[in-house]
Structure 1
């Protein structure tokens, strides 16, 4: 469980960094572009990937190709969605992408479905809806039409849900995940840096410095997320749900305490539901042994 907790902490740290960065002249796209080479370097230094057996790793080419494209593409779509639909709706689309990996856990990865897991997943989805609820305020202007906005939100939902599934598949590759992760980071770096060069981006020092920290946090987040999947090989739904619930719950608390963001009664109820959901998913086997009818 400690791998999942560390991954959640790193993910929230990334969100806090990006929130603070916007106020200090950091161009997020540039920071992300710098972050991928840093993450690749961390993969090389800490995981020591053995690239000599490239014939073995070639079988996983579809994973690192998909991640190499999906990671920067997800960021670009996310930025466009924030511009078109606003932060609240975009965050909701990103977190509700949990539906895709949860579905994949039972259909693709063969996780057994028990009553306690059904309860846990139901509580997780209710917790997400409660945590994402925001009271109506003045409507922000949308710069595109309905289909443009809906398309961006669907793109966020699809990109982040698919990426979660790919990380689980990478975890199943065993020792091959180190070179796969390295190559995915390198491909992501090449693609997003190429994208920025085509847009003739003028780089600044603040963005580069932020990118150095972002790359380290991003590497740790993904590494420990994959480790969590390896630790709970037979229970991927716990990792999928735990990650999403943990991130948004902790982000809600930090937002209220540090950034003075308002939370309402439903948000507080969502935190309680999130704890209950993780309890059912994590302690399900113990509960089943005590209550055979569950």
Structure 2
């Protein structure tokens, strides 16, 4: 349970950092690239056992890391595009509601338990995610289509599902840091390609501010993934339960942080969502 709580806290930390990125006008792509380099370095520095970099492509989890690394960068762009075209609320809801995908695969791939209590808890949690995430936005997005939210929903769910599959089938406990570091390294590679393509179109300096922002982001990003993997490796903790509690927990804590730290508006829907989220978590945990 401690790993799950730490994953929720560090994931919420990412939310706070991204908020400050907007305040200080940080170039998010450059900061994301630096963040991946930092996370890569931490993964290799904190490796549980000695290893050779040349052996990494031979590991059974390497292809999974490549797929996840590409997804990390792709979904980042889809999320940013969705927020721009459809609104921040739509992006938030689409990303968090994707929890149904790993929950579905957890039940059917790993024969995890299905009870009326558990199903009720998950349904309540999903309703809570929607109500707690939706915001009253001033701008309307009349011409925005459903393609981007659907891609964000599927991509976010694919990340959690693939992470669970690779962890179950290929990642021993003593290789969590190396796997995580490799995953971030591959994401950094794809991010570098995008940066190079953009620099050809328009040359800009990297900026010390973006480097510092990337370093600040990299530490909690690394730990959010490591602790999530360690939570998945905890015996007696089903992934359908874990992903539900993790996603809903992030929504609750992020909402509270937004209210207390950034003085965000807290509508009646948001209040109902937080209450339902707590009820949903309790029910799923009991089930």
TM-score under structure 1 normalisation?
Answer: 0.88
Cα deviation digits, residues 240-272 of structure 1 (max 9, x gap): 111111111111111112211111222222222
Most deviating of 108-117 and 68-77: 108-117
Structure 1 partner of 2:270: 267
Please report how far the alpha carbon of residue 122 of structure 1 lies from its aligned counterpart in structure 2 after TM superposition: 1.7
Cα distance in structure 1, aligned partners of 2:236 and 2:106: 10
Please report how far the alpha carbon of residue 49 of structure 1 lies from its aligned counterpart in structure 2 after TM superposition: 5.2
Cα deviation digits, residues 169-218 of structure 1 (max 9, x gap): 23323234433322211110010111011101521111110100111110
Cα deviation digits, residues 75-129 of structure 1 (max 9, x gap): 1111111221121111111111111111111112221212221122122112112
Q: Once superposed, what is the RMSD of the aligned Cα atoms?
A: 2.1
Aligned counterparts, 1:10-25, within 5 A: 10-25=10-25
Cα distance in structure 2, aligned partners of 1:105 and 1:217: 26
Please report how far the alpha carbon of residue 36 of structure 1 lies from its aligned counterpart in structure 2 after TM superposition: 0.4
Structure 1 partner of 2:172: 174
Structure 2 partner of 1:223: 226
Q: How many residues align?
A: 279
Structure 1 partner of 2:158: 162
Structure 1 partner of 2:194: 195
Structure 2 partner of 1:31: 31
Please report how far the alpha carbon of residue 50 of structure 1 lies from its aligned counterpart in structure 2 after TM superposition: 4.5
Aligned counterparts, 1:29-68, within 5 A: 29-48=29-48, 50-52=50-52, 54=55, 58-68=59-69
The question of whether the paired residues in 2 share the 8 Å contact of 1:81 and 1:153 is answered with: yes
Query: CA distance change for structure 1 residues 49 and 27 in 2, over 3 Å: closer, same or farther?
Result: farther
Structure 2 partner of 1:83: 84
Q: Is residue 253 from structure 1 mapped to residue 252 from structure 2 by the alignment?
A: no
Cα distance in structure 1, aligned partners of 2:250 and 2:267: 18
5+ long unaligned stretches in structure 2: none
Query: CA distance change for structure 1 residues 233 and 54 in 2, over 3 Å: closer, same or farther?
Result: farther
Cα distance in structure 1, aligned partners of 2:198 and 2:56: 36
The question of whether the paired residues in 2 share the 8 Å contact of 1:238 and 1:282 is answered with: yes
Q: Is residue 150 from structure 1 mapped to residue 173 from structure 2 by the alignment?
A: no
Most deviating of 24-33 and 173-182: 173-182
Cα distance in structure 2, aligned partners of 1:72 and 1:49: 28
Cα distance in structure 2, aligned partners of 1:93 and 1:252: 16
The question of whether the paired residues in 2 share the 8 Å contact of 1:25 and 1:206 is answered with: no
Cα distance in structure 2, aligned partners of 1:141 and 1:122: 28
Query: CA distance change for structure 1 residues 185 and 233 in 2, over 3 Å: closer, same or farther?
Result: farther
Cα distance in structure 2, aligned partners of 1:41 and 1:193: 16
Q: Is residue 205 from structure 1 mapped to residue 205 from structure 2 by the alignment?
A: no
The question of whether the paired residues in 2 share the 8 Å contact of 1:43 and 1:49 is answered with: no
The question of whether the paired residues in 2 share the 8 Å contact of 1:69 and 1:187 is answered with: yes
Cα distance in structure 2, aligned partners of 1:159 and 1:258: 30
Cα distance in structure 2, aligned partners of 1:66 and 1:44: 19
Q: 2:84 is paired with a residue of what secondary structure?
A: helix
Q: 1:110 is paired with a residue of what secondary structure?
A: coil
